[in-house]
Amino acid sequence: MSQSNMLSSLALTLLLSGALAVTLPVAASADEAQNKRFGKIKGTGGVSSISGAGGGGLTPWATLSSYAESGQLGGTVFASQAQVDDYQLDVVGGSFNVHDKLELSYARQDFLIKAADLQIRQDRIALRYKVAGDIIYDGLPQITVGVEHGELRDEAVALSVGADDTRGTDYTLSVARAWLNGIGHRTTLLNVNLRYGNSNQFGILGYGGDDEDRQVNMEVAGAMFISRSVAVGFEWRQKPDNLSALTENNASDLFLAYFPNKRLSFTTAWVDLGDIAGAPDQRGVYFSLQANL
């Protein structure tokens, strides 16, 4: 990414963050106190991942989306964008949480190859179920299993690079724990995922290939609240390398998430996606806005 583009993206990020802080209604806190869909502690619902599922940006976490607790319903809508050197990813979607046990989500991904002005579109749906535990209050950490299914609307690029299919399914096992008196006496969270699947570049380049097929990969995320409304953290996502003609690297990010209230969250991050479709060292910025319904 050029320096001017990166500065423009960062400026937009700061502008949006400032606008949120200034324009939020004073009545929001009272609304949260009375609204039965906002039972969890602020921030513990996480944000929206690029697949639509609740968690971080690059990966889902064991936490389910929204602030719904047992016996409550909740939902989210979000919009995200990642800008790296040669590509841009725009994602919009939402999720629905039933009794803090079941989460259904949808995401529409639009991946832009800047040099060719070519778009690759993908639909992703995910279903996740909380098996046991609680992120804070139970003796067990929160354990969630999930399934993510993706289908490409634009198939030509995936088939041309050797993908076996233009649709595919990943299966995830997520474990998370938050400590209210964690590092530096701050609320601290750790999440670990195991993902079984064969997606190439998050499914943007299809599924499977001539080099590898389905395998188990690991994803790790950590976060710490530096105030009641601001969290900083990291994510690391191991990715398969299914295509012999194209190297696929692991992905990582360093993020800052702002929760002005339980209605809204804003996330910005520095992302490193490695090599993508022959273009090396794809690094840049990511930002996301989520509203809880």
Task: Quote the pTM value.
Answer: 0.88
Please state the domain extents for the chain.
3-292
Mean pLDDT value across residues 165-179: 98
Listed range (8-17, 198-207, 253-262) with the worst mean pLDDT: 8-17
Banded pLDDT at 39 (limits 50, 70, 90): confident
pLDDT in the model for residue 27: 44
Take residue 288 and report the two structure tokens written for it: 């996301």
Phi first, then psi, for residue 81 (nearest 5°) are -145, 135
| DSSP string for 213-258 | -SEEEEEEEEEEESSSSEEEEEEEE------TTS----EEEEEEEE
Banded pLDDT at 20 (limits 50, 70, 90): very low
Phi first, then psi, for residue 148 (nearest 5°) are -120, 125
Q: Are 151 and 185 in contact (CB under 8 A)?
A: no
Alpha-carbon distance of 224 to 222, in angstroms, equals: 7
pLDDT in the model for residue 21: 47
- pLDDT tens digits along 211-265: 777 899 999 999 999 999 999 999 999 999 999 889 999 999 999 999 999 999 9
Instruction: Look at the alpha carbons of 232, 88, 52, 213 in this order and tell me if their dihedral is positive or negative.
Output: negative
Alpha-carbon distance of 124 to 129, in angstroms, equals: 17
Report helix, strand or coil for 285: strand
Domain with residues 3-292, CATH architecture: Beta Barrel (2.40)
Q: Which amino acid is at 235?
A: E
pLDDT in the model for residue 245: 87
